[in-house]
Amino acid sequence: MLCNPDGGLALAVDPAATAQRLVTVSHSLSDPMQLWDAQIVFDRNTTEPLGLALINHCSGLALRGNLDNSPVSQIPVQDVDQFAFWEFVPSNGYAVIRLAERRTQNLTADPGATAGLPVMIADWRGGLPDYSQVWLIYESA
Amino acid sequence: MGLAGLRRAQRSLDASSCLDLRARVRDDRCNLTIGHVRLADLNRASRAQGLAESWGPQHSCTPGELMLFYYIQCLAPGSSVLSIDPDAPAGNLVVMPKAVGDQMQLWQAMMLFGSNAPLGIALVNSQSGLAASASAGNGPVSQVAIANADTASFWDFKAGTYRGQSFTVIRLLNRATQNLTGASNVTVKASASVQGWSGGPPVFTQTWVFVPADFDALAQGL
């Protein structure tokens, strides 16, 4: 998932972090830290489909939006909750990725387009989202 | 009790309770306690501790077998699971008795994208890497490469309950009356298919449960 479409930056787990934060890194299709599956998670009791989780190929963890306008983190798939389910909305050839639980909270890269900066969820206040809130989704193979 | 002891206790309890769920009995892990600690909370604390231990500057990527996979288990008598055919791994799908850890029986329900827009949910097999695809009308379920997935490969999941048993009906996204259908009392293997649903409660062969494969890892103390 590439952000700032002209910048070639990808959403990734942080290769240098001591926490489970997410950052933007230079795009590489072969780096598992940048590869994500959008998977349906089913309730362990009722087998009901709960939502789409974004699961990283390297960590095996799911992307989670914690607090409004705050950095995103990761969570074990066994523990996903409503803040780990995402929606994908087409927008002018890009995709807006937003929390299913709070649809005004968009996955947001740092507008500085610099690698290594944390990725957030941040307010969408209506109108066209800016470049920091639109993403390109590529297949890895 | 140290973390290692807590993990041993957790594995023991998970193993016994998860076996129940895999036999389609409602999971009651959340009600189990160690002292005053709910097992679900203990699980979360243990996993968080494990993350803190394993995820540091020198971390390496998690092995693929820890990704999220499901057995898709039919509620018809015999509780067979959806599988690729061991005798034709790229051919039509079958149902067969569950074999713990068999990659042919593990599935991901994965969203596929085209032009940055979500297209639909494909059922992708862990062993073949192919997506389940339905024939037109009633008939067998084949497999296609993910790159070739089309509307015949996208599925919808409708949860329901009958006499206290939760289930999911798996139906074609664009032909909502065509349900994924297994078979009863399968001893070796039987064909999986899509069959029409004409209203009313679904029959047992058209009801399924998604059983997370990590329950097996817990049961084996991995």
Total domains in the fold of chain A: 1
pLDDT tens per residue across span B83-108: 999 999 999 999 999 999 899 999 99
Q: Of A113 and B7, which is predicted with more confidence? A: A113
Q: Is A59 near chain B, with CB under 8 Å?
A: yes
Q: Is A126 near chain B, with CB under 8 Å?
A: no
The confidence band for B64, taking pLDDT boundaries of 50, 70 and 90, is: low
CA atoms in the 13 A half-sphere facing the CB of A139? 12
What are the sequence ranges of the domains in chain B?
3-60, 65-214
CATH number at residue A57: 2.80.10.50
Report yes or no: A121 and A65 within 8 Å, Cβ to Cβ. Answer: yes
Mean predicted confidence (pLDDT) in B51-67: 53
Question: Residue B57 has what pLDDT?
Answer: 41
Question: Nearest residue of A to residue B208 by CA position?
Answer: A47
CB neighbours (10 Å) of residue A130? 12
What integer best gives the mean pLDDT of chain B?
A: 77
The confidence band for B18, taking pLDDT boundaries of 50, 70 and 90, is: very low
B62 and A58 within 8 Å at the Cβ level: the answer is: yes
Q: Which residues of B lie inside 8 Å of A (Cβ-Cβ)?
A: 21, 26-27, 43-44, 47, 51, 55-57, 61-62, 64, 66-68, 70, 108-111, 113, 115-118, 121, 146-147, 157, 159, 161, 166-168, 208-210, 212, 214
pLDDT higher than 90, residue B77: yes
Of B116, B121, B161, the CB nearest to A94: B116
pLDDT tens per residue across span A21-42: 898 888 887 888 999 999 999 9
Helical axes B3-22 vs B39-54, angle rounded to 10°: 120
Q: Which residues in chain B are closer than 8 Å to A94, comparing Cβ atoms? A: 116
Question: Residue A26 has what pLDDT?
Answer: 87
pLDDT higher than 70, residue A14: yes
Question: Residue B71 has what pLDDT?
Answer: 96
pLDDT higher than 60, residue B14: no
| Share above pLDDT 90 across residues of chain B, in percent, rounded to a whole number | 54
pLDDT higher than 90, residue A49: yes
Mean predicted confidence (pLDDT) in A109-130: 82
pLDDT higher than 70, residue B156: yes
pLDDT higher than 90, residue B222: no
CA distance A33 to chain B (A): 8
B210 and A16 within 8 Å at the Cβ level: the answer is: no
Distance (Å, whole) CA B129 – CA B126: 6
CA distance B185 to chain A (A): 22
Question: Nearest residue of B to residue A17 by CA position?
Answer: B57
- The ipTM, to two decimals, is 0.91
Class level of CATH domain B65-214 = mainly beta
State the DSSP string of B36-105: TEEHHHHHHHHHHHHHHHH-STT--PPPGGGS--EEEEE-STT--EEE-BTTBTTS--EEE---TT-GGG
Question: Residue B5 has what pLDDT?
Answer: 45
In a domain, A21, yes or no: yes
Domain range for residue A57?
2-136
In a domain, A141, yes or no: no
Q: Of B27 and B78, which is predicted with more confidence? A: B78
Q: Is A40 near chain B, with CB under 8 Å?
A: yes
Q: Which residues in chain B are closer than 8 Å to A12, comparing Cβ atoms? A: none
In a domain, A91, yes or no: yes
Mean predicted confidence (pLDDT) in A68-78: 91
Handedness of CA A110, A99, A18, B58 (dihedral sign): negative
